[in-house]
Amino acid sequence: MIEIGIMGYEGAQAAAILGMTDLLLAANGIAGRARAPERPQIRVCHWSLETGRSSPGRSFDSAPQGSCDPAVIIVPPGLGGPLTELEARVYAGWLVQQHAQGAVLCSICKGAFLLGETGLLDGRTVTTHWSYAEPLLERFPKVLLNTDRLIIDDGDIITAGGVMAWIDLSLILVARFLGPAVMMDTARAFLVDPPGREQSFYSPFSPRLHHGDAAVLKVQHWLQATGGAETRLPILADHAGLEPRTFMRRFQKATGHTTGDYVQRLRVTRARDLLQLTRDPVDAIAWQVHYKDTGAFRKVFTRIVGLSPGEYRQRFRVTAMEAGHAG
């Protein structure tokens, strides 16, 4: 028997906790209908910090007769702002202890802040919802953050992006413990896509603007106004009133991007809007967002978004009827 523990905390999203419980137990049932003798069974427990206790204990147990320790602890998403450092520390010691005993630790969305307090994310590449990127890095500067990814599986630590990424995480755990066939059957039963989508399909480019470097900010505003038409470093540096090497260093420090990557992301953001809202051919859109080589545009778009321009339009295009309803 394999225990997957879901940890409750103040503000944890009940829908995610209950949804994961339902999906994991449903997968158990699907596996059970064709269970091989050696195939394990998943036990789902909810762990919470009850009044008078110094560490979390089980508040729900799908198999109370079981005696195993948690193989996985999931920190679910939550409502509102991230837990404060003081609140998170209440759980951090227990999570470190569980990890030391062999448990895989998982977080979803703002649950990454709670895992961050353990120190176990230092030096690791992790993900969370893109809206939490800046506060997470400010609080945990040793973390390597990639919010383009929906799931980052580092073996003993798994982090997931947005609130609904609990579905993808649950299916990954089903595949790990019950096998890929059971995972696919569970995904079909719940009418959801199997893991494979990325957060970059949905996340807009949100430039970092509150960095305090006025010269860099001036260039950012200019690039935004011109749609990233200019990429030449000497011209960008001249607009900032800085030497090129100084400008390049300060720009990357302030924004977290090289000038080239920053401009590409601005252009791709505009291209996403045009793919969703117009019928313009992909080659025409490439020209509108300042790419002379349409092949290069397709490669850059696919690298940043994770889908080709055609795939993105097919998935996200707003029809005339939808646009009319929105108005």
Q: What angle do CA 289, 295, 300 make, to 5 degrees?
A: 60
Compute the distance between CA of residue 159 and CA of residue 82 in angstroms, rounded to an integer: 15
**83 three-state secondary structure:** coil
In the numeric block, which tokens belong to residue 15? 């829908």
Cβ partners under 8 Å of residue 105, min gap 6? 72, 73, 75, 95, 98, 99, 115, 118, 120, 156, 157, 158
Q: Which residues pair with 2 in a beta bridge?
A: 42
Catalytic residue among 45, 68, 106, 109: 109
C-alpha dihedral sign at 77, 79, 84, 89: negative
For residue 117, the number of C-alpha atoms closer than 13 Å in the C-beta half-sphere is 19
Q: Is 106 a catalytic residue?
A: no
Q: Which amino acid belongs to residue 262?
A: Y
DSSP 319: P
List the catalytic residues.
109
